[in-house]
């Protein structure tokens, strides 16, 4: 599972986004996340689910026990959007998938 899209510091691909969507669809649809909680935001939760620990995320960067780098801009847009539920993030990610 350590193939998280964030660890490549490259443009977001369809494969990367599908991996994220697959994870997001398994979360409680109405479950919420706090965008400004850099250790438990949507992206930090995803990275932990991929097997990383000591995760910290900002709007443009991430740090984990094994790696660090820049986040694709689109992921921040998915996480920042409203509503801040896993279902909302899944819808935004699927909408983006149709565009790339």
**pLDDT tens per residue across span 67-92:** 888 888 899 999 999 999 999 999 99
Query: Taking 90 as the threshold, does the pLDDT of residue 6 lie above it?
Result: no
Q: Nearest to residue 38, comparing CAs of 56, 54, 17?
A: 56
- Residue ranges per structural domain of the chain: 5-99
CA 31 to CA 80: how far, in whole Å? 15
CA 40 to CA 55: how far, in whole Å? 8
Query: Taking 90 as the threshold, does the pLDDT of residue 55 lie above it?
Result: yes
Q: What is the mean pLDDT of the chain?
A: 90
Residue 51 has what DSSP assignment?
T
**pLDDT tens per residue across span 17-27:** 999 999 999 99
Query: Taking 50 as the threshold, does the pLDDT of residue 61 lie above it?
Result: yes
């Amino acid at each position: 599972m350590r193939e998280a899209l964030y660890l490549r510091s490259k443009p977001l691909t369809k494969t990367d986004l599908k991996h994220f969507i697959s994870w997001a669809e398994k979360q409680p649809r109405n479950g919420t996340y706090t965008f400004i909680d850099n250790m438990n935001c949507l992206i930090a939760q995803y990275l932990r689910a991929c097997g990383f620990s000591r995760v910290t995320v900002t709007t443009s960067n991430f740090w984990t026990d094994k790696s660090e780098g820049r986040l694709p801009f689109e992921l921040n847009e998915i996480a920042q959007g409203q509503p801040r539920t896993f279902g909302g993030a899944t819808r935004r990610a699927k909408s983006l998938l149709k565009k790339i």
